Structure 1
Amino acid sequence: MFVGDSMTVGSAGDYTWRYRMWQHLNASYGGPYRIVGPRRELYDPAADAAGSLDYGDPDFPERARAHLAGWGEGWLHMAPLIAEAVRKGKADTLLVSLGLIDLGFYTNAEQTADNVRGFLAEARAANPRVRAVLMPVLHNVRALAEPHFAAEVERFNELLGKIVADLAEPASPLLLASPPEGWDTQRDTYDGTHPSAAGEHRIAAAFADAMYQAWDVGGPYGR
């Protein structure tokens, strides 16, 4: 299950990094798998709401479009939703990219970290053996322009690493993904935050390589 904010849900016309991961798993994973989640839509800028199905590849199959991601949603919003989503989808692996919207509008680093713990507790309540890969918050154009915000991002990322170290269990492993290699807001985003095609590949690669290295799922991401 893909869990995320606007960088994960994508906007009308995007391919999304979820699509890139689907392509990667099809090419590299030897076993059966399912992508699960309660939502299918992209964000529709014209309506300022979710509802678009205009993916960059119209042949991206509906079953693979599943996710739990939303424009303007963060750990604060997903923590109350994750248990039901895991339970209904029978999810056993979560790929999570959240936090930028929390820090930008709702909570400081410590409060956001508390919501991460709540999210993980709820996910484990639904499936005690669920495993998760957590992506650190990536610096965006605001972090580059505002030192205070950049420091808050760095503080949260430190706390996220501590959460992974403290809460990882053999039956329910947690991974902290490495930030996408060579992330560059000029090349890897189209507006300073949301991923371009290059950024989509880099985010998918960070998740894919973490799963392969730790759990032998799939293979190294195709460069």
Structure 2
Amino acid sequence: MVAAFVGVHGEEAAVLLRAFLASVLALGVLGAAPTVAQPAAPLRVMVVGDSISQGFGGDATWRYWFWREASRQGRAIDLVGPRRGFRVGYGTRYESPGLRFDADHAAWGGSTVNFHLGVIDGLMDDYSPDVVVVQLGVNDALRGVSGRTIAGEVQALVRKILSASFRTRVVLAEVPLHPTRADTAEAAADANGWLVALYRWNPRVTVARNVSDERVPWRAANFTFDGLHPNATGQTLIAQRFAEAFHGAGYLPDSPAIYRSRTWNPRVVPRVRQSRGVVTFDWSKAATEVRMASVRVSIRRAGSTTWRSTPWFRVKQHRATRRLAKGTYAVRLVPRRGTMVARPGPLSWSACAERQSKSIELKPRSFESWCSEVIVRIVPLRERMTSDWVTAPPPR
């Protein structure tokens, strides 16, 4: 300790000595009581991407599956960003009406790398993320930008992110390959080659193998609904690849187990109105919530085991009508988006019918649990319905 203050004399030495002793005591080296370990602060993660990350109304999105896996592993993740949902006109809710997760993000459907170059400085100042997920480039390739230019712009974006703080890290996605546009796929593959070479040995950047991992090869026919955007199964595979990158970088403690085969299940419900035996099925409200291209209506009469389905209707048609005989019917709406067709609701008809048939006559808007089928009763004209419209409730 004397050697530490050689050349320092008088009052100045005393001040330095007191400071040194205080710091030693604070560190507990002189027998101070050990401090209790505090739980790790949530890892602040900002997702910077395009529509693959933002998703569409009715999607769970890969962000949900990633967040769920981190929660399962006990790793607190705070997703940050200026948005929580989708672009205007793309839908208003996630796959399940009751789906609750940390939905904050900085993705924007249709965006290019250049767009994010213009806003990233402000986002870094506002949200101070620990890790930034960058999932971009395909919209640039679709616009004819070369792979080398895409890689150069992504490099500039990553440089801005890393310069915001020495603590910040990046998880970088590969650019997806378009299955029917050779020029776009070539540009994406070229960009991926450049990016992997640029960041292979960079300790602050981890590349997620969402395209090149051969254990479960990314095939558009299996994992997208339109050749580019992930379907319900594809969302889990993208989340798996990002979680693997997080685990490899030390941000998640365990190997992830996210990927699974799923059928889309947005649980959309029609509004149903009957007058003189003519039933109108209206899906206009459902179409504002869930992004879908077409729908079909399935009808089953009480006591029957057979569902009868209408042809597919364009969503913009908004409604369809059918004449039904007197009786009680279960009605369900099946949406379709590209090759992704939703599955019927999870509850049995009998359970749903018992609750809703009473609710129609007594308390048309007082439901205690979720039903994804609507029960319609065609009644004689002298019987008066409490409400013309029957709408299934949101879940609790």
The answer, yes or no, to whether TM exceeds 0.5 is yes
User: How far did residue 150 of structure 1 move?
Assistant: 2.2
Which deviations, in whole Å up to 9, do the C-alpha atoms of 1:188-220 show, x marking residues without a partner?
111111101110000000010111123151422
Q: Give the TM-score normalised by structure 2.
A: 0.50
Number of the residue aligned with 2:162: 124
What secondary structure does 2:78 align onto? coil
Residues 1:31 and 1:152: Cα distance change in structure 2 (over 3 Å): closer
Number of the residue aligned with 1:37: 81
2:148 maps to a residue whose letter is E
Within 5 A, what are the aligned runs for 1:8-23?
8-23=53-68
User: How far did residue 148 of structure 1 move?
Assistant: 3.0
1:23 maps to a residue whose letter is R
Q: For residues 99 and 130 of structure 1, what CA distance do their matches in structure 2 show?
A: 21
1:74 maps to a residue whose letter is T
Within 5 A, what are the aligned runs for 1:5-84?
5-28=50-73, 30-44=74-88, 47=89, 52-61=91-100, 64-84=102-122
1:139 maps to a residue whose letter is L
Number of the residue aligned with 1:177: 208
Q: For residues 14 and 161 of structure 1, what CA distance do their matches in structure 2 show?
A: 30
What secondary structure does 1:57 align onto? coil
What secondary structure does 2:200 align onto? helix
What secondary structure does 1:199 align onto? helix
1:189 maps to a residue whose letter is T
Q: Which of the numbers 111, 120, 124 marks the counterpart of 1:86?
A: 124
What secondary structure does 1:187 align onto? helix
What secondary structure does 1:175 align onto? strand
Are 2:148 and 1:113 equivalent residues in the alignment?
no
Which deviations, in whole Å up to 9, do the C-alpha atoms of 1:99-145 show, x marking residues without a partner?
100111162222212211221122123223211111111222xxx33
Contact 2:79 2:104 (8 Å CA) reproduced:
yes
Q: For residues 124 and 132 of structure 1, what CA distance do their matches in structure 2 show?
A: 8
User: How far did residue 162 of structure 1 move?
Assistant: 2.1
Q: For residues 94 and 197 of structure 1, what CA distance do their matches in structure 2 show?
A: 24
Contact 1:42 1:55 (8 Å CA) reproduced:
no
Q: For residues 106 and 77 of structure 1, what CA distance do their matches in structure 2 show?
A: 16
Are 2:213 and 1:147 equivalent residues in the alignment?
no
Q: Give the TM-score normalised by structure 1.
A: 0.86
Contact 1:212 1:220 (8 Å CA) reproduced:
yes
Are 2:175 and 1:137 equivalent residues in the alignment?
yes
Contact 1:84 1:126 (8 Å CA) reproduced:
no
Larger C-alpha radius of gyration, 1 or 2? 2
Contact 1:4 1:68 (8 Å CA) reproduced:
yes
Q: For residues 199 and 131 of structure 1, what CA distance do their matches in structure 2 show?
A: 25
Q: For residues 100 and 136 of structure 1, what CA distance do their matches in structure 2 show?
A: 9
Q: For residues 94 and 100 of structure 1, what CA distance do their matches in structure 2 show?
A: 18
Q: Please, which runs of 5 or more residues in structure 1 have no aligned partner? A: none
Runs of 4+, deviation exceeding 4 Å: none
Structural RMSD (CA): 1.9
Contact 2:48 2:105 (8 Å CA) reproduced:
yes
Contact 1:9 1:16 (8 Å CA) reproduced:
yes
Q: For residues 121 and 114 of structure 1, what CA distance do their matches in structure 2 show?
A: 10
Larger strand fraction of residues: 2
Which deviations, in whole Å up to 9, do the C-alpha atoms of 1:77-104 show, x marking residues without a partner?
1122122212211201012211100111
What secondary structure does 1:153 align onto? helix
Q: For residues 31 and 19 of structure 1, what CA distance do their matches in structure 2 show?
A: 15
Contact 1:80 1:119 (8 Å CA) reproduced:
no
Q: For residues 240 and 190 of structure 2, what CA distance do their matches in structure 1 show?
A: 24
